[in-house]
Structure 1
Amino acid sequence: MAAVRQMTHARQQEKILVMGPSWVGDMVMAQSLFKVLKQQKSDCIIDVAAPAWTLPLLDRMPEVNSGIALPFKHGELALKERIRFGLSLKNHGYTQCIMLTNSLKSAILPAATGIRRRTGFRGEMRYGLLNDIRPLDKSKLPRTVDRFVALGIEADSPLPAIPNPHLAASRDNALACLENMYIPAPTAPVLGLCPGAEYGEAKRWPLEYYAEVARAAHEHGWQVWLFGSEKDVPFTAEINRLSNMACLDLGGKTKLGDAIDLMSLCDAVVSNDSGLMHVAAALDKKLIAIYGSSDPHHTPPMSSKAVIEYLGLECSPCFQRECPLGHLNCLKQILPQQIIQNLFKRI
């Protein structure tokens, strides 16, 4: 009888394949969906297929069973390769696929797997590829995280209370990273600065403002760490120069997983609206999030410890990569002294 019960349980267990987003911030917010799925069925198995560079994020989400690296280049159709990859997952026993991407090409792979329930928003005319198609009412689902979670519940069901993302960082790995760079473990409070924004300069607070914050933190006896990808190296280097080399410049020196673990050692973070901003929020850091061309009502940091700096000018949010009016007032009018006062008032 015990064997029969175990077999019955195995047949009832949900195994869900999530087609994940390609942006760091979106993947962090997707953890709220994973948490809701686990709240509904604690024994469900969640695998996430996404670009390879997102796997360090998934490794730090306890809800995720495994991350599946997708080999496709950004924007390419790769029809045969997507079908072939989908067929390779055919015998994995998935009971549902949830699509967090809206493109037609991204729906090819789950259709090829033969998963019986394929859930997603209407997107780019994906009829036939998806069979649980949901209309997207942006007024009812204003935030990205709302839309992700809505795909994890039954259609027309009210949204549940949405849990905040929470990344499980490794302090041991963070200390090992510092040791490998011949940097001692911090003995003073650490301020993390994240001056990058891959989307464009209309989301980047001026570098000289970041440098002023760095100098003020240094005068308060804090260490200042600069975080960023290889693309952000010119920005972190310039902030360090403007702050009289008072910072530890980690720009381009760490992989994503290591950056997450190192950020877990920070006491506070100041960041543009970027993927690392969402990482800081998911690490439950005291966070000042600076918004320019984007909308904090659409992609806010999911943390009670976050303070949003957003002017909401008449021209905001424009969602442009560069300021269409040429003045960038939405960022330049958020003065560094305002951030400094807010930062040290809260700590």
Structure 2
Amino acid sequence: MTEPLLRRLRARGERLTVAALPWVAPVYRAMPQVDAVIELPFRHGGLQLRERRTLGRQLRGQFENAYVLPNSLKSALLPLLAAIPRRVGYLGEARVGLLTHRLKNPKDKPPMVAFYSALSGEPGVESDRPALALPDAQVGEVLQRHGLARGAYVVMAPGAEYGPAKRWPHFGALAAQLDRAVVLLGSAKEAAECEVIRAQAPGQVRNLAGQTSLAEAFGLIAGAGHVVSNDSGLMHVAAAFGVPQIALFGSSSPLHTPPLNARAQVLWLKQDPDYQPPLDCSPCFQRECPLGHFRCLQDLDAARVRALL
């Protein structure tokens, strides 16, 4: 979702260095417009001022502009400590003194791509197009390692870090209906959940959750015939590679975080005029269903998804 902003900045001649935590750094290394990636040595939680001061001193004099994408206070500290003269970001968490150019946070939830792209100071959003690229040889090496043929398997990403209200419960039923190999991807925390899915179609499903690096997962997604996922990080990775995908939405909204992919098919019962009674509660953006019925994903059956594959 940040890639259109980076594409816009590069098009106007800016040389781009992205500072990112290690778990997301491979995403930016796969973006052609990014010149360099700095892996941030910070842990989750806490300001860690000593570490930020040390890195800030190392970076002084290297940059003219800083675009601060997260809304947190600590994310705006490093550009200040690095004495970057122009620091652009949204207001929030008492950041007035940390940023030189401040945008007001919109009241409603805008599409995240537009939210990030506005930091460029230019109107509009670039059109959808593949945003990540891997050499064919790298993809081929990953597929050979796992004994897979390009386009002959389906990747499923059943996890969603945000919570249960974003996780479709019928991945196992869908896998059992397919006549193709299925590869399950996700984090180590999702391995047990993926094993339950694998058990429903053990002959054709391979559970690789927690067993791949992010770069290896990229190769498996780039080589897939289809990707089926919840509204998650891997959904956006599939969109960025431009592979055929089915994106399943429940408590969240494709108007806010859509897959930017002309080959994506979005299923969201909220937008289905034939679904009754209407989902007036959606999108709630909650981690768990506050009403307890979970209709938004429970009623989206496997046969409906299977018809799109």
TM-score after normalising by structure 1: 0.82
How far apart, in 2, do the equivalents of 1:315 and 1:120 lie? Answer: 32
Q: Determine if contact 1:268/1:286 at 8 Å carries over to the other structure.
A: yes
Q: Determine if contact 1:288/1:306 at 8 Å carries over to the other structure.
A: yes
Q: Determine if contact 1:32/1:164 at 8 Å carries over to the other structure.
A: no
1:170 is displaced (CA, Å) by 3.5
Equivalent pairs, count: 301
1:165 is displaced (CA, Å) by 4.9
Match of 1:194 in 2: 157
Q: Determine if contact 2:151/2:224 at 8 Å carries over to the other structure.
A: no
Q: Determine if contact 1:171/1:261 at 8 Å carries over to the other structure.
A: no
Match of 2:255 in 1: 297
Q: 1:131 aligns with which of 100, 116, 120?
A: 100
Match of 1:52 in 2: 22
Unaligned runs of 5+ in 2: 271-278
TM-score after normalising by structure 2: 0.92
How far apart, in 2, do the equivalents of 1:88 and 1:205 lie? Answer: 45
Q: Where do residues 163-202 of structure 1 align in structure 2 (5 Å cutoff)?
A: 163-180=128-145, 183-186=146-149, 189-202=152-165
Q: Determine if contact 2:80/2:98 at 8 Å carries over to the other structure.
A: yes
Unaligned runs of 5+ in 1: 1-28
How far apart, in 1, do the equivalents of 2:237 and 2:150 lie? Answer: 23
Q: Tell me if 1:61 matches 2:31.
A: yes
**Helix, strand or coil at the partner of 2:2:** helix
Identity %: 40
Q: Tell me if 1:110 matches 2:68.
A: no
Match of 1:144 in 2: 112
Match of 1:227 in 2: 185
RMSD (Å), alpha carbons: 1.7
CA deviation vs aligned residue, 1:102-128 (integer Å, no higher than 9, x gap): 111111110111111100011212112
Q: 1:285 aligns with which of 233, 243, 266?
A: 243
- Tell me which stretches of 4 or more aligned residues in structure 1 moved more than 6 Å: none
Cα distance, 1:150–1:188 mapped onto 2, change above 3 Å? closer
**Higher alpha-carbon Rg:** 1
Q: Tell me if 1:254 matches 2:212.
A: yes
How far apart, in 2, do the equivalents of 1:257 and 1:188 lie? Answer: 18
Match of 2:173 in 1: 212
Q: Determine if contact 1:316/1:330 at 8 Å carries over to the other structure.
A: yes
Q: 1:336 aligns with which of 292, 302, 307?
A: 302
